[in-house]
Structure 1
């Protein structure tokens, strides 16, 4: 039962995040959240802290207005004191030059008593880096 409830809560949270309400994710983060977005792209990051997490999300949505993040699959393991959640995500956006951006990502979370204590995201960094370059080029022309 706990796993089903947690899976439903994660899906509901991703529905909010997927429409741009990243503050919902920030609200679930522990003050000492460990976050890592793997790779060597302008959005790659590794830090500790809820405030840095909020800033990273703000900058992500500023870089990619209209970004859509849709959970495809949610797997939950463990118990309330240490829960592992894995989410497969579809990532879509329309870039500033009008081209579509499509990618997929995997998020690996650790929850303790409902608070996100660790969050690691793996996305196809080659596609993401190309999208970041297109965004930068399109906004530089304005």
Structure 2
């Protein structure tokens, strides 16, 4: 029963994030959250805490305006004191030149008593890098 409840909450959370409400994910972050988005180019990051996590999301939505992330599958294991959640994601956006961006990713999350303490994300970095270069070449997503 616990796993079904967690799966439902994760699906609801990703529905909110897909609608642009990334603060719903930030609200789940423990003060000691360790987040890693694998890669060399933005949005690659290794950071700690909800403040940096929120900044990462804000930057992502600037880099890819209108990004759509949808949950394809969820696997839940463990118990409230150490729950592992694995999510398969589909990512879509329209790039600055009008071409579609499509990618897929895996998220591995550790929850402790409902709070996210670790979040590790893998996305196809070759596709992502090409899209980021195009966006930055059009002046999108670059910090002043």
TM-score by length of 1: 0.97
- In the TM superposition, structure 1's runs of 4+ consecutive aligned residues that sit over 3 Å from their partners are none
Q: Which residue of 1 aligns with 2:28?
A: 28
**2:29 maps to 1:3:** no
Matches within 5 A, 1:1-142: 1-139=1-139
Question: Could you report, residue by residue, the CA deviation over 1:80-135 in whole angstroms, capped at 9, with x for unpaired residues?
Answer: 00000000000000011100000000000000000000000000000000000111
Partner of 1:96: helix, strand, or coil? coil
User: Which whole-Å CA distance do the structure 1 matches of 2:133 and 2:36 have between them?
Assistant: 21
Residue 20 (structure 1) shift:
1.1
Partner of 1:139: helix, strand, or coil? coil
User: Which whole-Å CA distance do the structure 2 matches of 1:6 and 1:119 have between them?
Assistant: 16
Please give the root-mean-square deviation of Cα atoms over the aligned residues, in Å.
0.8
Question: Could you report, residue by residue, the CA deviation over 1:39-78 in whole angstroms, capped at 9, with x for unpaired residues?
Answer: 1112100011110000000000011010011000000000
Residue 138 (structure 1) shift:
2.1
Q: Answer yes or no: is the 8 Å Cα contact 1:16–1:22 preserved in 2.
A: yes
Q: Which runs of 5+ in 1 are unaligned?
A: none
User: Which whole-Å CA distance do the structure 2 matches of 1:119 and 1:52 have between them?
Assistant: 13
